């Protein structure tokens, strides 16, 4: 039995062709079949038993089966409700519940049961919290290091409203990689990421290097939202200007009909070109392809560090 990742192409209100529910008429390079294996069923069982959220499922990632099979998972901290209204994201928006102090312990237990070697911790935005949730990140990182021998922990954080003190708190726990995604080009920010600022995201990456230059930084972009080639290259140059080490580039796929439509499907050849140019710009790692996501092959990267 197999679950096919893909979305129906349908006409949006503005006449663009965009995905919305099955695999019909999708370009072949963005179709992905995820086998419903016993291993994946067991992973879902563990996550459910621990009451945990993963961006793998909340974000409808096409690579979750592959990553789970390779000992990598991305846990979503601090609940399943986000305080921001990014139009590309399928995570629920609204007023979050109070933080659960048992969540870090439950993540550790799930990591043990799943035999994970590399954990990625991300979160919803928690703009209402005094520390934006930074201490919750640090607590979870520390507990994982204390409880799971030789585990690598990567974080994918919100922008913390640009607060250096929050970034310092997270980095004090010594994650293997500090990731914050710029997501798209500056011109599209108001449409794609209302409530966020392009320069602020760059500042987060720059501050993380200033706080601890020994921790690798990482960022990513979604393509296919209406950006131009030169705009993408300009963002890549901006990332290198703040000493960002690792870059991911992937195709935006519309998770639900309530999200932004896809403007176009970027070809594998174009992704290859961006990847080549990224290496030439000096990134220490570049993953560029239609189905690449922030945590794609994260465990393999950690083993090379």
Q: So what's the pLDDT on residue 49?
A: 67
Distance between CA atoms of 43 and 207, rounded to whole angstroms?
36
Extract the tokens encoding 259: 């999200």
pLDDT score recorded for residue 50: 74
Query: What is the chain's pLDDT, residue by residue, as a tens digit (305 residues)?
Result: 222 223 323 333 333 333 444 344 789 888 766 556 666 667 777 777 677 766 555 445 555 556 655 556 788 899 888 888 777 776 777 888 899 999 999 999 999 988 888 899 999 889 999 999 999 999 999 999 999 988 999 999 999 999 999 999 999 999 999 999 999 999 999 999 988 999 999 999 999 999 999 999 999 999 999 999 999 999 999 999 999 999 999 999 888 888 889 999 999 999 999 999 999 999 999 999 999 988 766 656 556 55
Global pTM reads 0.85
Q: What is the pLDDT of residues 155-190, one digit of tens each?
A: 999 999 999 999 999 999 999 999 999 999 999 999
Class of domain 2-304: alpha beta
Q: What angle do CA 211, 122, 137 make, to 5 degrees?
A: 55
- Cβ atoms within 10 A of the Cβ of 251, count? 25
């Amino acid at each position: 039995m197999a679950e096919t990742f893909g979305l129906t192409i349908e006409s949006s209100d503005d006449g663009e062709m965009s995905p919305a529910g099955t695999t019909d008429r999708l370009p072949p390079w963005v179709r992905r079949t995820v086998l419903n294996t016993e291993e994946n069923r067991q992973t879902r069982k563990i996550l459910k038993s621990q009451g945990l959220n993963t961006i793998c499922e909340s974000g409808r990632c096409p690579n979750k089966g592959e990553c789970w099979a390779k000992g990598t998972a991305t846990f979503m901290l601090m609940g399943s409700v986000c305080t921001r209204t990014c139009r590309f994201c399928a995570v629920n928006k609204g007023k979050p519940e109070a933080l659960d102090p048992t969540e870090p312990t439950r993540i550790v237990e799930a990591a043990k049961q799943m035999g994970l070697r590399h954990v990625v911790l991300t979160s919803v935005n928690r703009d209402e919290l005094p520390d934006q949730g930074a201490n919750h990140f640090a607590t979870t990182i520390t507990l994982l290091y204390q409880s799971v021998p030789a585990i690598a922990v990567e974080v994918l954080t919100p922008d913390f409203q640009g607060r250096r003190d929050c970034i310092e708190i997270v980095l004090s726990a010594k994650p293997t990689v500090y990731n914050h995604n710029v997501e798209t080009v500056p011109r599209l920010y108001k449409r794609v990421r209302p409530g966020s600022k392009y320069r602020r995201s760059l500042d987060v990456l720059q501050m993380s290097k200033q706080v601890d230059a020994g921790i690798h930084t990482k960022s990513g972009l979604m393509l296919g939202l209406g950006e131009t080639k030169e705009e993408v290259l300009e963002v890549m140059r901006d990332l290198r200007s703040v000493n960002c080490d690792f870059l991911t580039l992937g195709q935006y796929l519309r998770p639900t009909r309530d999200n932004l439509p896809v403007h176009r499907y970027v070809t594998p050849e174009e992704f290859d070109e961006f990847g080549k140019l990224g290496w030439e710009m000096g990134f220490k790692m570049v993953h560029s392809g239609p189905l690449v996501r922030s945590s794609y092959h994260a465990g393999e990267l950690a083993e090379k560090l």
